[in-house]
Every structure is written in C-alpha cells, then in structure tokens.
Structure 1
Amino acid sequence: MARPIWNGVLSFGLLNVPISVMSGERKMDLHFRMLDGRDKNPVRYERVNSETGEEVPWKSIVKAFEYAKGNYVVLEPEDIESAAPESHESIDIEAFVDATEITPAYYEKPYVLVPGKKADKGYVLLRETLRKTGRIGIGRVVIRTREYLCAVFPQGDALVMNLLRYPQEIVDVDDYKLPAAKASDVRISKAELDMAEKLIESMASAWKPEDYKDEFRDRLRKVIEQRVKSAGVTRRVDDEPEPPADATTNVVDFMSLLRKSLATHKRTPAKSESSAKAKTQSPRSKAKPRKAASKAAPAKKSAKRRSTSARKSA
C-alpha cells in the first residue's frame, strides 16, 4: 500500500473532511547510470568548488540567489521557512468554478484524496455535489513548504486533486505567430471542410486510455533485455519514418490526402495490418540490400584485378 504524501483536511466553507493525499501518478521512466567508457565503472557526480577544485561536503552547502551575473545573496533555512504559508495540513477551497473554464495547460500533477476514518459522509457529499453541478473546487495546498494552486474534482468514486500552474507559468499562445485567418482566407473549399469532417467522424471513438501505451519504452526495454542476453550485442531501434517532402509546404492536395485517409480508415477501423507489419518488420529484412552489396564487392575486386593485369601486360 502506498504511503500518503500527508494527512490533513479538505476544507470548504465550514466543512472539514479528513483526508490522506496519495500520489496519483506512477513514474515509468527507465533510469540510466553513466559509466566511464574506458573501464565501464560508474561515474560519480561530485560537488566541487569552482575556484579550488576541491569537493564540498553537503554540510557546507548553502542556498543562494543570483540577483546579478556573478553576484549572490545567501538565504538561510529560516528565511525560506518564513516565506512558507502557516497552513500545512489543509486543502483550502476558495471557489467553485465551471469545470470547462480550466484549460488543460493549467493541470500539472494529480493526487488522489482518500477519506479518513468516519469521513465518508462529507467526502461523498462534496463528490456528488461537484458531479451534479459540474463544478471544480479551486484552492491552495502546501506540500513540502511550497504553496500550490490546486483543483479538486470527482473522478469515479474518488475525489482527485490536481496541482495547477499559476498563470505566470503558462506561455500565452499570443506570444507566437499563429494563423488567425478563416478557412476562406487560406482557400479551404467547402468540399475540403466536408471531407475533413467525415474523416474526423469516421475516426471518432470513446476515450479508452488503456488502449494507449508508451511504445518507445517497451521497445527500449526489449533492446535492453536483448543487450543483456547477447552480452553487449544488440540491434538499433528502427528510426521513425521520414515525413513526406511536401510536409512543410503549403502546396498540398488536401482533398486527395483526405480521401486517402478516409478510405484507409474505413478499411481498417483500428490499426491497419500493413502498418502493424511495417512496425514489426524484422531488421533482417531491412538488411538484405547490405548482403547484396557485400556479394557484389568481390565482382568489383575481380574487375579491378583484370584491369591491373591488363596494364601490366601492356
């Protein structure tokens, strides 16, 4: 059983619901160690003084803020603690907003709120009220001395808390050059719009997150297993297919591409067999041209020998 991040209360109005904050994500990254390529010994990361080159022990390290190039102000632990909020054991909901008002860019990290002992009534009350009204609770929570903005919303039988990014942390899309033109301004015809709509409708599906997996991670794990079995010899992971030559140009026959996409999707509602075969194609089949080239090499050598002997006889 996972351990809670902390225990406290979920507070809204005058109601307090005892809860435990549990992690809502599972890290699946593959962790690598850096080795010395000469003798394969692990490489250590040391804290070194930039002036003397000597290693610095942890007890001698202090935190500082670089307010100008090469100029620092040192912060003591009590300085950081004084800036931290006093409330450490409650999620204080300050407002309830419409669930559709928060764009995905704000969501950062999920947690699951588990009710404490004899807290089921308040927990279910908030969960069902949020579900009925279609609203999300917006509040603040302190985790490890830092205050976060957070959203609390129902998900199945659970109340989920997702840490939110502050507006200052999100890049405004208006900072980038984006096409504000209408469809007619860029010569998109009604036929192209209709075809695109049919393609999207033909690919419409219910959201099933279990259908999506980190395929790169799975392939990389197989490469690692193969490396272990072969004692260092392995095959390279196939590169992604290169985009078509006209992928970055504006001169594209959209109707033709939409028809092909629609026809392909009608034939194969899920993944096509051809694409599956292409993904699982063995490296041996791709290596055939190399074999042919190696067989042709002796012929070139023999031709070279004949031309050399001909020059000698001349």
Structure 2
Amino acid sequence: MPRPIWKGSISFGLVNIPITLFPAESQSDLHFQMIDSRNHARVRYKRVNEVTEEEVPWNEIVKGYEFEDGNYILLSDEDFKQADREATKTIEIEDFVDLRAIDYAYFDKPYYLVPGKGGEKGYVLLREALRRKGKVGIARVVIRTKEYLAALIPEGDALVLDLLRYHQQLRDLGEYAIPHGDLEEFKVTRKELDLAETLVESMAAEWEPEKYHDEYHDALMAWIEKKAREGKTEALPEEKAEAEAEGGKVIDMMALLKKSLEGKGEGGRKRKAEEKGEAPKRKGSGKPAGTSRKESEKKRKTGEK
C-alpha cells in the first residue's frame, strides 16, 4: 500500500469529512544512473559554491527566492510552516459544477481520498450526492508547499481528487497554426468524410484501460534482462528508417481512408470473403462470413493462410 501524502478533511457547507490523501499513480519509469564509459564508475553531482568553488554540505543549504536580480529572500523550514496554516489541511469545496463542463486539458494528476475514522457516512453521502447530480466539487488544496485547484470526482465507490491546471497555465490555441474554417476550404469531400466516419465506427470499442500498457517499457526491460543473462554488451538492432514524405506531395486522403477500412467492419469482411470465393455472411443468416478477427489473428501468428 502506498504511503499517504497527508491527512486532512473535506469541507463543504457545514459538513466536515476526515480523509487521507493517497497517490493514485503507480510509477513504472525505469531509472538510470549516469556512468563514465571509460571505467564504468558512477558519475555524481556536487553542490558547489559558485564563489568559493567549494562543495557545500546539505545542512548548510537553504531555499532562496530571487525577488530582484541578484537579491534573494532566504527561507527556512519555519518560514514554510508559517504559510502552512491549519486551513491548508482542508479540501475546501468552493463550487459544484458539471463534470462535462471541464475541458480534459485542465486535468493534471489524480489522488485517492480514503475516509478517516468516523468519516465513512459523510464520505458516502458526498459521493452519492455528486454522482446523482452529475456534479464535481471544485476546491483548493495545499500539498506540501504549493496550492492547487482540484476537482473532487466520484469514481466507483471512491472519491478522487484530481488536480487541475489553472487557466493561465494553458496556452492559447491562437498561438498555433491550427486549421479552422469550412471543410471546403481544405478540399475535404463528402465521400472522404463518410469514409472517415465509417472507419471510426468500424474501430469503435468499449473503453478498457487495462488492455493498454507501456510497450516500450516492456521491450526495453526485456532487452536489459537479455543483456544481463548474456553477461555482455551488444548493440541494439537498427530499425529501418521510415521513408520521409516528399515535400509538397498531395496526399490521397480517399485512398488512405479506403486502405484503413480494409478488414474493418462489414465492408472489410465482405471483401475478404469475395477474395476467397466465399459468400459473405448476412446478419442473422447463420451462414459463413469469412474468418473472424480472432481466427485471423491466430492464423497470422502461426503463419497459416
């Protein structure tokens, strides 16, 4: 079980719910050390005084805020405690808003909220009220030494505190060359749009987050384990570089969409069946309709045709 971030309470109206804040993320990043290639010794950093060029011990280092060029305000642990008022241990809900009204770009980092002793009833009450009304609580919370805007969201049996980005943290889309205007302006035809919509429908699926994982992490870890078993260093196999697109080349969007649709949806199955000389299956007919996706995948893996 992960370590708690801090203990505090949720406050809305006159209701006060004791909670413990836990991280919702599980970090799986690989951590690497910097190594000197000449003798394989670890490379370490030193904290050096830029005036004396001498190493500075940790117990002599304090935080400083540069309020003017070259002028600093030094802050001790006591200074941070002065700003850490009792109220900062409270998730103070200021508003209740529709979850759908919050653009996904505002969501930053999730935390799980676990009720403290005696807080179960208030926890369940708030969770169900939010769920039934389709609302989330907008609150401010101080974690360590920084204040955050956050959304309190019901998720299953839990309440999730999702930190939000402030509006000023998001760049204005007007800064970027994002295409806008009528479809005709970009020469998008009705047929192309219909094919694109058909492709989207053919690839539609239920959201199953557990089926997606960091494949690069797995592949890199497998390679590291292979090198460890062999006890020697080997060069990574070179991948074929993708051909670069020719400058100014006109993209045949219709052809790309048609190619993407091959093997997708009813149309793709029909074409496959026709290529094999089989009659495509009609819905409810009980007749063969070509190879199913699972069977095709099995044959692809075993090399069958």
Counterpart for residue 45 of structure 1:
45
Aligned pairs (5 A) from 1:214-293: 214-236=214-236, 239=239, 242=242, 245-246=245-246, 249=248, 251-266=250-265, 273=297
- Number of aligned residue pairs: give it: 274
Residues 17, 237 of structure 1: alpha-carbon distance in 2 compared, 3 angstrom cutoff: farther
More divergent stretch after superposition (44-53 vs 146-155):
44-53
More divergent stretch after superposition (82-91 vs 215-224):
82-91
Higher helix proportion, which one? Answer: 1
Measured against aligned partners, the alpha-carbon deviations of 1:86-113 in whole angstroms (never above 9, x if no partner) come to 4132111110011011112111111111
Distance 2:209 2:224 in 1: 26
Structure-1-length-normalised TM-score: 0.80
Counterpart for residue 155 of structure 1:
155
Q: Shift of residue 232 of structure 1?
A: 2.4
Distance 2:99 2:212 in 1: 25
Matched residue type, 2:260: S
Q: Shift of residue 233 of structure 1?
A: 2.6
Distance 1:99 1:35 in 2: 47
Aligned pairs (5 A) from 1:1-314: 1-67=1-67, 71-77=70-76, 78-236=78-236, 239=239, 242=242, 245-246=245-246, 249=248, 251-266=250-265, 273=297
Confirm or deny: 8 A CA contact 2:153 2:159 kept in the other structure.
Answer: yes
More divergent stretch after superposition (60-69 vs 90-99):
60-69
Q: Shift of residue 199 of structure 1?
A: 0.4
Residues 129, 168 of structure 1: alpha-carbon distance in 2 compared, 3 angstrom cutoff: same
More divergent stretch after superposition (231-240 vs 251-260):
231-240
Percent of pairs with identical residues: 47
Is there any run of 5+ residues in structure 2 with no aligned partner, and where?
A: 269-291
Matched residue type, 1:73: Y
Matched residue type, 1:108: D
Distance 1:172 1:188 in 2: 26
Residues 100, 33 of structure 1: alpha-carbon distance in 2 compared, 3 angstrom cutoff: same
Distance 1:104 1:93 in 2: 20
Select the structure of larger CA radius of gyration.
1
Matched residue type, 1:251: V
Distance 2:18 2:155 in 1: 18
Matched residue type, 1:114: V
Q: Shift of residue 51 of structure 1?
A: 3.1
Q: Shift of residue 241 of structure 1?
A: 5.8
Measured against aligned partners, the alpha-carbon deviations of 1:179-206 in whole angstroms (never above 9, x if no partner) come to 1122111111100110100000111111
Distance 1:245 1:263 in 2: 23
Residues 39, 18 of structure 1: alpha-carbon distance in 2 compared, 3 angstrom cutoff: same
